[in-house]
Every structure is written in C-alpha cells, then in structure tokens.
Chain A
C-alpha cells in the first residue's frame, strides 16, 4: 500500500492517534504559547499607536484572529462532520465534536472584544451591523451543535446528529451572511466600517499575523488535548485504553 494512504489509515485508529497526539502536544502548546507571547508583545507594546484611535485599536490583535478562527473552526468542524457521516470514521466524529466548544469560545471572544472596543469608539456596546449579526448567528449555530451533542445519550449517534447539523449550518451560513448584508444595506443607518479600504501599516500588521499563527497552534493543541480525553472516554472498554490507564497509574 502507498505509504501515505497507509499512514492515513493508521491515523484513523484511536490508539495510534492517541500516541501521536501525545507526542505532538508539548510542541503545539509550546509553539502556541511562544507565538502568543511574541504576538501580544508586538501588538500591545511594539506596534505604534493609531493616529485616530490611539491605543484602543490594539484590541484587534485579539479580536481579528478570533474572528478568523471562529470561521476556520466551523469549517474544520463541518469538514470532519462530512467525513464522519460519509466514511463513518470514529476519529473524525471525535475531532468535529472536540472542535465545537473551542470554536464557540473564539466566537465569543470575538464578540466580547468587539463590543469592548465598540463602547469607546462607536459609543455603543452593540450595533446591528451586518458582520456583528452574522457572527452572533454563528455563535448560535455553535450552541446548537453543542446542545444537540449533549442531549443524545449514545455518544456516536450524538456526534453523527451534531455533525449533520453542522453541515446544515454551513450550507446556511453564506445565506445568513448574504441576507444580513442585504437587510442592513436596506436600512441604511449609521455606517460604521471597521477598517475600510485603508491599508494597515506593516509595523501594525506583523503582530497580527503572528497572532493568527498563535491562535492556529493553540487551537490545534486544545483540539488534540480534548480529542485524546474524548477518545479515552469513547473507548473506555477497549484494551488499549486500559493499558493507558494502567501506565498512568504506575507513573503516578
């Protein structure tokens, strides 16, 4: 068999994935925390302050990467849900469901930092701007997936149902985005644009990119940690899980 295909098949097996994730995790956490520190230092200290918003603009170093991650993780979850439904790969079910709370957390961070920034800049915590509204709907979609997953007793059936809902959601997401845009331009209120066409200065840009990388690593690390625990729970009756538990008991 082709070595790449062979590796892919092996990756689908829970014990192999459990060991591989265990080896990767320290690296991912380390790289994530280092790049987080560098990005935050660059963004909060090194980057020059904005001529209009002074230091308040620095919240974008948390806000914008979270917004990117909120969409990226939804895509990741739906992709894994798709794989889980078509090929019934147990690992994909676990990964999709482990990703949902992380995505919801990033979406929440994005909304919370946005409203913290909006209070001094726009003079309001919340405005029914198109982007804000679609981000809020995204948060509700995450909550729906998580709620459905928690509500069903059988874990595998729960993850299949929730993965299906995630797929329905990803079909719906562009429609929501489009309709909300249409709705807001119809009721033209106070138009507030986050950045407009103005190009961001490169001294401000590099910490943002570092933060984007940091959130990717942190997501990967958090995802693998959660997936490992979920796999142990799911496979609690299996031999390899018992061996892992025994080895942990000996080490302690």
Chain B
C-alpha cells in the first residue's frame, strides 16, 4: 500500500485547512475585530490626548495583536481533536513535525496575517508616528510567526482539555516575554532615532531557531497529550 509523498500530504493538509477556514470566513475575522476593539479601548481609558497616545501606540498595538493571537490559538487543534482527525495525523506515516508545521503555517496565514494588515490602521488610531510604522510592521512580521510557533507547543500540551483558555494564557505568556521585549525595543529605538537593526536581527534569529525546533517540540507535546 502506498501512502503518497510527504509533499502531497502537506499539500492536502494545506488545501483542507484553507477550505475549512474559507467556509467559516466570518469566524476568521474575529481576531481582527478583537484587536481593533482592544486598541479603541485605550483612548477611552487614557484620554484622547494625541501626545500621550502616540507615546504608547507601538506597545499597545503589539500587546493587542499578541492577545488576539493568544485567543485564536485555541482553535489551532480544537476541531481536529474533536472530530478525531488529529489522531489520524499523529498515526500517519509522514513526519508529524512537518505536518504540524503546515498546520501552524495555515494558522498564521489565516489569523496573524489579517492582523498584520490591520496594524497600520491600529497605529493610526493611536497617532503612531509615521517614522515608527515601518519598524512596527517589520517587528510584527518577525514576531507573529514566533508567537504562533511558541503558542502551538503550548496548545499541543493542553489539547483535549475542556476549559483550557486561562491555563493556556498562563503557559504561553511567560514564553512570549522575550519576543515582546525585542519587538517593542525596536519600535522604541525607532521613536528615539536610534538604530533598530539589532533587536530586529535578534527577532530574526529567534524565528530561525523556533522555526526548526517548535514543530519538533509541538509533535513531542502532542504525542504526550494524546497518549
């Protein structure tokens, strides 16, 4: 019996996950709406003064996107676990880390990429200085895949729990600290006219490392929680 190549398995997984998202397009927009609403709350809480808002704008956008990503993480394996296809994935003859990397990639493309596209709007709402916007977008482009990858490892550990939301936040947020520090560091440096390359390079290095290790760790974690 032939199983086909790993490449065709990955392609099938991509097509399946994308069509699942496409059939529930409304749900896919929820993280974006959440991020917009969180950002809109800040002027209400801090007052509408442009200077005060501009000073915290980059950090607020980063945290809002981070939280939106955190809330969407739960959906990564939820439906697959409930209909049993996650177990089929684990049992399949193709390398599990590769398949999980595909799933994480689809998740990033469908949840984090829309957030990335809406980030300039969020920045504008908070009077983000124009000079910081390219740096913020670069930092987000490097840090959101990192967040998805790190988050996937923790989701794999909590898969199968009925009420995992709060616990997931408890597991994930300490691991997000370095990512947030470097992303915000780049934006702050840009605000002060300092060179921004170093924190962005650190983020890139972290992404390269996580891209290799996180799918392996995710597979190991999934095997533990499905055993």
* A residues with CB within 8 A of B: 137, 140-141, 143-144, 147-148, 151-152, 157, 160-161, 164-165, 168-169, 172, 175-176, 178-180, 182-183, 186-187
Bound together, the chains give a CA A175 to CA B176 distance in angstroms of 11
Shortest distance in angstroms between B134's beta carbon and chain A's nearest beta carbon? 20
A168 / chain B contacts, CB cutoff of 8 Å: 153-154, 175, 217
A186-B185 contact, Cβ under 8 Å, with A147-B170, A148-B157, A164-B220: yes
Bound together, the chains give a CA A143 to CA B157 distance in angstroms of 15
A161-B170 contact, Cβ under 8 Å, with A151-B164, A176-B177: no
B143 / chain A contacts, CB cutoff of 8 Å: none
Q: Chain B contact residues: over half helix, strand or loop, or mixed?
A: helix
Bound together, the chains give a CA A231 to CA B48 distance in angstroms of 59
User: Is A144 a contact partner of B174 (Cβ separation < 8 A)?
Assistant: yes
B225 / chain A contacts, CB cutoff of 8 Å: 152, 157, 161
Residue of B nearest to A154 (CB): B227
Shortest distance in angstroms between A170's beta carbon and chain B's nearest beta carbon? 12
Bound together, the chains give a CA A186 to CA B186 distance in angstroms of 11
Q: For this complex, into which size category does the number of interface residues on chain B fall? A: 20 to 34
28 A-B interface contacts by CB (under 8 A): A137-B174, A140-B170, A141-B174, A144-B171, A147-B167, A151-B164, A157-B225, A157-B227, A161-B225, A164-B220, A164-B221, A164-B224, A168-B154, A168-B217, A172-B174, A172-B178, A175-B178, A175-B206, A176-B177, A176-B178, A178-B178, A179-B181, A179-B182, A180-B178, A182-B182, A186-B188, A186-B189, A187-B188
Q: Report B179-196 CB contacts with A as 1/0, cut-off 8 Å.
A: 001100100110000000
A151-B224 contact, Cβ under 8 Å, with A144-B171, A180-B181: no
Q: Which 7 A-B pairs have the closest CB atoms?
A: A179-B178, A140-B174, A144-B171, A183-B181, A179-B181, A175-B178, A160-B224
B178 / chain A contacts, CB cutoff of 8 Å: 172, 175-176, 178-180
Bound together, the chains give a CA A140 to CA B154 distance in angstroms of 14
Bound together, the chains give a CA A210 to CA B220 distance in angstroms of 42
Shortest distance in angstroms between A102's beta carbon and chain B's nearest beta carbon? 19
Bound together, the chains give a CA A147 to CA B225 distance in angstroms of 15
The winner among A141, A152, A169 for most chain B CB atoms within 10 A is A152
A187 / chain B contacts, CB cutoff of 8 Å: 188
Q: Report B52-77 CB contacts with A as 1/0, cut-off 8 Å.
A: 00000000000000000000000000
Bound together, the chains give a CA A144 to CA B166 distance in angstroms of 10
B189 / chain A contacts, CB cutoff of 8 Å: 186
Bound together, the chains give a CA A140 to CA B177 distance in angstroms of 11
Neighbour of A147 across the interface among B171, B181, B188, B224, CB < 8 A: B171
Q: Report B135-165 CB contacts with A as 1/0, cut-off 8 Å.
A: 0000000000000000001100110010010
Shortest distance in angstroms between A10's beta carbon and chain B's nearest beta carbon? 27
Residue of A nearest to B175 (CB): A172
A148-B185 contact, Cβ under 8 Å, with A168-B217, A175-B178, A176-B177: no
User: Is B188 a contact partner of A151 (Cβ separation < 8 A)?
Assistant: no
For chain B, residues 6 to 45, give those with C-beta under 8 angstroms from any C-beta of chain A.
Answer: none
User: Is A151 a contact partner of B177 (Cβ separation < 8 A)?
Assistant: no
B173 CB-CB contact with A under 8 Å? yes
B161 / chain A contacts, CB cutoff of 8 Å: 151-152
A169 / chain B contacts, CB cutoff of 8 Å: 174-175
Bound together, the chains give a CA A140 to CA B206 distance in angstroms of 21
B175 / chain A contacts, CB cutoff of 8 Å: 168-169, 172
Shortest distance in angstroms between B12's beta carbon and chain A's nearest beta carbon? 29
User: Is A144 a contact partner of B181 (Cβ separation < 8 A)?
Assistant: no
User: Is A183 a contact partner of B158 (Cβ separation < 8 A)?
Assistant: no
The winner among B161, B164, B182, B224 for most chain A CB atoms within 10 A is B224
User: Is A148 a contact partner of B167 (Cβ separation < 8 A)?
Assistant: yes
The winner among A140, A168, A178, A180 for most chain B CB atoms within 10 A is A168
User: Is A179 a contact partner of B177 (Cβ separation < 8 A)?
Assistant: yes
Residue of A nearest to B172 (CB): A144
User: Is B170 a contact partner of A182 (Cβ separation < 8 A)?
Assistant: no
Shortest distance in angstroms between A39's beta carbon and chain B's nearest beta carbon? 32
Residue of B nearest to A163 (CB): B224
Shortest distance in angstroms between A161's beta carbon and chain B's nearest beta carbon? 5
Shortest distance in angstroms between A107's beta carbon and chain B's nearest beta carbon? 12
